[in-house]
Amino acid sequence: MHHLDEIDIAILKHLQKNGRAQRNKLAKIVNLSVPSVSERMRKLEEKKLIDGYHAVLNAQKFNFDIVAFIFVEVDNSSYHGSFVEKVVLEPEVQECHSITGDGSHILKITTENTVSLEKLLSRIQSWEGVKKTRSNIVLSTFKQTREIPLDHQEKAVEV
pLDDT for residue 158: 72
What is the 3-state composition of the chain as percent helix, strand, coil, each rounded to the nearest 5?
40, 25, 40
CA distances to 80, 128, 141 from 117, in Å: 23, 19, 18
Domain 59-137 grouped into CATH 3.30.70.920:
yes
Query: Residue 135, exposed/middle/buried by CB under 10 A (0-12, 13-18, 19+)?
Result: middle
- Establish whether domains 2-54 and 59-137 are of one fold: no
| Answer CATH for 2-54 from 2.40.170.20, 1.10.10.10, 3.30.70.100, 3.40.50.620 | 1.10.10.10
In the chain, where are the structural domains located? 2-54, 59-137
**C-alpha 151 chain-centroid distance:** 21
- Each residue's pLDDT, cut to its tens digit, for the chain (159 residues) gives 668 899 999 999 999 999 999 999 999 999 999 999 999 999 999 999 999 998 889 999 999 999 999 999 999 999 999 999 999 999 999 999 999 988 899 999 999 999 999 999 999 999 999 999 999 999 999 999 989 988 755 666 776
Q: Residue 74: which of 102, 95, 110 has the closest Cα?
A: 102
pLDDT for residue 153: 57
pLDDT for residue 62: 96
pLDDT for residue 84: 97
pLDDT for residue 150: 87
CA distances to 6, 53, 87 from 76, in Å: 46, 36, 16
pLDDT for residue 151: 76
In eight-state DSSP terms, residue 29 is H
pTM of the model: 0.85
Contact 146, 102 (CB under 8 A): no
Q: How many CA atoms lie within 13 A of 8 on its CB side?
A: 19
